């Protein structure tokens, strides 16, 4: 790691609050959202005064807990809780550690169905309110849509960030967030870790990709701001992530520590605009990234633990005074340099308010308690974060009433109107990249018999099965006769032969490809073999849109940016002409042989 004294000087200037960032919004304007009335500030301070030190420290943590119920989880979930957290269930977790937030995951069995989620939320809130200082919980989840959705059907699902980027409409992005937010609120989830505000300019990005709205900073900024307004108009907190920007990395911070090599100027023009826009839109919370950005802090500390980045840049330059939450503290990216007892302390010293999902809560909690005992952290410092946390809970109306009802779930979750909105918006993102000899749309008279083959990545719970099966069913519902053959992401030669045999006598084959790169020899072989038959082949990229660069020419190519049911149904409507392909590429697709050159530029997309 090269040390640049000039950078260090720059950061000292930044930390002193000088507007190094061009066009930085004045602090007052940007932080209006978190400004409390004097009455509310008094309320918050009174609550803090009533809290014991144990309760104050607990309030800073957001924790996972296994089980579908707060008091009566399955025996396997009790065992998981006991081995990882030292408690039996959510209620015990709250009694022992007084945590201020809970995060829901499907793998922790928190999100089985909407009524169960509502009951779990109510049970957890009841436990939180039975503490010495009764404080309601922030209950959060990652309901980004598309590739990351913790709650499946019957909740309404959308195509995800890049699908909205291809649609390109801030009004649609806002409407989608409002639907998602309304449904989460009805289930007692009051904070969504969304929108992903990273600008995805690296096709090799293994962790963001289709979770991002795209590669154009201005477009991503407009869509991020629209989603912030949509979520927050539904009465839940929105979270822009992953600050200071995770879009240009070839490594996944879940497994190692990525380095962003952008210069300060590149960071300002590429990564900062969506976060600035989210702040201007009144964002409630911002999530940190576990990555190194030497241009902003050359100490070798990840952004999550960086005072120059979180206080110098985010708070002082960008004028953000809302809640800052870490990305999950069980990710390898934040654990490489310091022990699990030190990470939460360093995060707080950097300017963080909420500590998300430490691997061992006891170790992290003790670490903070010890830092207060030694004077490394003062109670005044804790109070600053506590005020932000409690102010948000107050603003969300949780002190008034944190409970939800089954009737409320039935009124809001997966309604006909919400599902229709999701279908309409998802249709608009499907992007047509090639259409040789006007192969599409497939006319029903001449193209009755269809075969759907290809990759079947796992979809969120509550979906209609493998994507190829969902697509075949949707095509059949639209008047074709479609059958499905799942060939996976690495089909064997025997499976490829089977697909070619199944294509014989069909009027067209639709092949779903998934993250094809030069290393995806088996998927390339499948498309090549199908293209060599005399049956027209329609290729659909169901995750990243870069697949076309590595594949032989076929009759038509589409980018769908997702593989959940809603995206597959949209593909069926576009392929059959029931919907027009109006999507435009939100990222450039580089040539396989010359990645510096775009095969298809941002904004490219054909119509019928």
198, 284, 297, 327: which one is catalytic?
Answer: 327
Beta bridge partners of 483: 451
Q: Are 253 and 289 in contact (CB under 8 A)?
A: yes
Q: How far apart are the first and last CA of the chain?
A: 52
Residue 528 exposed, middle or buried by CB count within 10 Å (0-12, 13-18, 19+): middle
Q: H or E element: which one contains 590?
A: strand 589-590
Catalytic residue, candidates 40, 252, 254, 330: 254
Please tell me whether the peptide bond between 244 and the residue prior to it is cis, using omega within 30 degrees of 0: yes
* Local structure of 142: helix, strand or coil: coil
State how far the Cα of 439 lies from the Cα of 24, in Å rounded to an integer: 50
For residue 73, give Cα distances in angstroms to 63, 126, 129, 553, 600: 16, 16, 20, 53, 51
> What is d(CA 135, CA 107) in angstroms, rounded to the nearest whole number?
27
* H/E stretch holding 141: strand 138-141
Calculate the alpha carbon distances from 230 to 29, 49, 182, 303, 599 in Å. 20, 35, 9, 28, 34
Q: Are strands 61-63 and 143-145 parallel, antiparallel or unpaired?
A: unpaired
327 is catalytic: yes
3-state helix, strand, coil in the chain (%, to 5): 45, 10, 45
Which residues are the active-site residues? 254, 327
């Amino acid at each position: 790691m090269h040390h640049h004294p000039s950078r260090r000087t720059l950061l000292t200037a930044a930390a002193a609050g000088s507007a190094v960032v061009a066009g930085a919004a004045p602090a007052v304007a940007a932080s209006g959202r978190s400004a409390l009335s004097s009455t509310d500030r008094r309320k918050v301070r009174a609550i803090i005064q009533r809290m014991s030190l144990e309760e104050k420290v607990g309030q800073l943590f957001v924790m996972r807990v296994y089980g579908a119920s707060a008091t009566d989880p399955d025996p396997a979930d009790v065992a998981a809780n006991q081995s990882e957290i030292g408690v039996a269930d959510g209620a015990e977790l709250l009694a022992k550690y007084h945590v201020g937030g809970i995060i829901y995951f499907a793998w922790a069995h928190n999100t089985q169905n909407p009524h169960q989620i509502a009951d779990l939320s109510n049970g957890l809130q009841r436990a939180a309110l039975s503490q010495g200082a009764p404080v309601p919980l922030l209950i959060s989840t990652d309901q980004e849509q598309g590739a990351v959705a913790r709650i499946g059907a019957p909740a309404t699902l959308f195509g995800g960030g890049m699908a909205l980027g291809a649609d390109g409409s801030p009004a649609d992005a806002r409407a989608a967030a409002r639907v998602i937010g309304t449904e989460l609120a009805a289930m007692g989830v009051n904070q969504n870790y969304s929108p992903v505000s990273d600008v995805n300019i690296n096709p090799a990005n293994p962790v963001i990709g289709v979770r991002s709205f795209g590669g154009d900073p201005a477009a991503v900024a407009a869509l991020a701001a629209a989603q912030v307004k949509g979520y927050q108009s539904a009465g839940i907190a929105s979270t822009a992530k992953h600050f200071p920007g995770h879009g240009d990395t070839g490594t996944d911070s879940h497994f190692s520590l990525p380095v962003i090599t952008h210069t300060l100027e590149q960071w300002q023009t590429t990564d900062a605009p969506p976060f600035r826009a989210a702040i201007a839109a009144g964002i409630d919370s911002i999530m940190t990234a576990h990555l190194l950005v030497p241009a902003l802090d050359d100490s070798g500390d990840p952004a999550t633990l960086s005072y120059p980045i979180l206080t110098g840049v985010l708070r002082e330059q960008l004028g953000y005074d809302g809640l800052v939450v870490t990305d999950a503290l069980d990710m390898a990216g934040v654990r490489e340099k310091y022990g699990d007892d030190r990470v939460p302390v360093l995060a707080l010293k950097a300017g963080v308010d909420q500590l998300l999902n430490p691997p061992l809560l006891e170790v992290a909690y003790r670490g903070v308690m010890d830092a207060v005992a030694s004077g490394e952290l003062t109670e005044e410092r804790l109070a600053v974060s506590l005020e932000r946390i409690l102010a948000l809970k107050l603003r969300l109306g949780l002190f008034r009433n944190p409970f939800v009802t089954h009737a409320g779930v039935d009124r809001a979750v997966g309604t006909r109107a919400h599902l229709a909105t999701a279908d309409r918006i998802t249709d608009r993102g499907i992007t047509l990249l090639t259409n040789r000899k006007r192969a599409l749309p497939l006319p029903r008279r001449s193209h009755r018999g269809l075969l759907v083959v290809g990759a079947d990545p796992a979809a969120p719970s509550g979906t209609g099965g493998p994507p190829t099966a969902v697509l075949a069913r949707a095509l059949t519902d639209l008047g074709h006769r479609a059958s499905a053959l799942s060939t996976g992401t690495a089909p064997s030669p025997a499976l490829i032969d089977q697909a070619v045999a199944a294509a014989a006598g069909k009027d067209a084959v639709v092949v779903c490809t998934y993250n094809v790169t030069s290393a995806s020899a088996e998927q390339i072989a499948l498309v090549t073999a199908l293209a060599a038959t005399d049956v027209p082949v329609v290729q659909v990229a169901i995750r990243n849109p870069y697949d076309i660069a590595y594949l032989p020419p076929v009759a038509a190519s589409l980018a769908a940016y997702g593989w959940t049911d809603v995206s597959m149904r949209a593909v069926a409507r576009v392929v059959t002409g029931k919907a027009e392909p109006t999507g435009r590429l939100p990222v450039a697709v580089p040539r396989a042989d010359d990645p510096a050159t775009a095969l298809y530029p941002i904004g490219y997309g054909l119509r019928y």
